[in-house]
Amino acid sequence: MIIVDKLLDELETNGKPIRAGVVGAGFMARGIVLQIEKSTPGMRALAIANRHVEKAADVYRAAGVNEIDEVQDLGAMDRALAAGHHCITNDPMLLCRSDNIDVVIDVTGSIDYSARVALEAIRRKKHVVLMNAELDGTLGPILKVLADRAGVVITNADGDQPGVILNLYRFVRGIGVRPVLCGNIKGLHDPYRNPATQKDFAERWGQNPYMVTSFADGTKISFEQAIVANATGMVVAKRGMHGPEVATGTPITEAAQWYPHDSLVTGPGIVDYVVGAHPSPGVFVLGTHDDPVQQHYLELYKLGDGPFYCFYTPYHLCHFEVPNTVARAVLFKDAAIAPLGRPRVDVVAAGKVDLEAGDELDAIGGYKTYGLAENSEIVTRDQLLPIGLAEGCRLKRPVPRDQVLTYDDVVLPQGRLSDSLRQQQSSHFG
């Protein structure tokens, strides 16, 4: 981050800022644009694409941007940007195709729509930053393959828990400690929450009730930890992870007591989470060291007497840290967090209620399904249905609450890019 801030200052001084386009105009997009425009020298958020352009205009006004042009074609966008104006549009492809945009930031939470945006940005040699765990956890590995071929970076964002975990993971590994668990700290987990139960909370914070529900019902943390697994080579110890619940405020430094030690020392390590620990919402990494001399030093530095040492970051600051991800991608071609290769962990759909034949599955964070992290080998072997592909599927037969759905249980919607990319991902990685 120290290197990044100096280079951004140089870009600002030289009048050559990084030029970002933002897809989405919701709660998180508002924060990102505000952060870039008000607090990030050497970077500009020059265009926002959103289905409802008036919301994009509101995002700019909240950031103090008043020279705003609504555009419908590439020529109009480029003329507006050349005049020093910011652009709003309902067509995200304009951001992907403009020579005046260096990086596209996706802040939508959608799958099929965002996959189209990511593919077009990659084709046009644009870096892609995802504030979209759902897309990354469903199709991230194949999108990374395509980005590598195009010579661009696709990355999830620092500030969200997966990016913060990977920063910590890289630090721990960099000092010679072997990471054995990458963890996330939650305050609540109830798989049966729905948009009605979360309505008041969503309204209080100006957020989407479906998105808020995905936080509460465990789907979001499943995606986040799947992303971490795919970026580290780790796996889950069991379907849904262990997810121990501890007394509220229990120090995260006690985390080594909450997970089976055999899961930590055998294999590639695991991803997991805890409910109730402090500091929340933070992240943590458990690591181990084989050298007795280094163990002595770690004990001296108040990390305990081992064999597992707990490193943690007490917060994640979401939109505040996204510009750092943009800068790392554009200036260093360094992803904050991206898949290493083949998928290691997926997120599968389980019934939130008893489902009947003919039911159409709703969106993530809805009334009918919740997500569970499962190792990709099992997902492939048992043909389990990824929750990122569940919306719009129609049930062939009844499925009881809490049962994981399979492809055989549903009829997929026709013509979705996401299904095609998922097949391509499966074929590519075998």
SS3 127: strand
pLDDT digits 0-9 by tens, 172-192 = 999 999 999 999 999 999 999
At 248, the amino acid letter reads T
Cα end-to-end span (Å), the chain:
37
pLDDT above 90 for 206: no
Question: What 8-state DSSP symbol labels residue 124?
Answer: T
Q: Which of 205-214, 388-397, 416-425 has the lowest mean pLDDT?
A: 205-214
pTM: 0.96
Give 2's pLDDT tier (boundaries 50, 70, 90).
confident
Kindly state the percentage of the chain with pLDDT values over 90.
98
DSSP alpha helices (H): ranges in 315-416? Answer: 322-332, 376-382
The predicted structure's pLDDT at residue 298: 98
- Count Cα neighbours of 168 within 13 Å in the Cβ-side half-sphere: 28
The predicted structure's pLDDT at residue 347: 98
Question: What 8-state DSSP symbol labels residue 391?
Answer: T
Question: 115 Cβ partners below 8 Å, 6+ apart?
Answer: 135, 139, 143, 417, 418, 421
| Structural domains of the chain in order of their starting residue, each with its CATH number | 2-160+320-332 (3.40.50.720), 161-228+236-313 (no CATH), 345-429 (3.90.1210.10)
Mean pLDDT on 20-36: 97
pLDDT digits 0-9 by tens, 252-309 = 999 999 999 999 999 999 999 999 999 999 999 999 999 999 999 999 999 999 999 9
Q: Are 169 and 182 in contact (CB under 8 A)?
A: yes
pLDDT above 70 for 220: yes
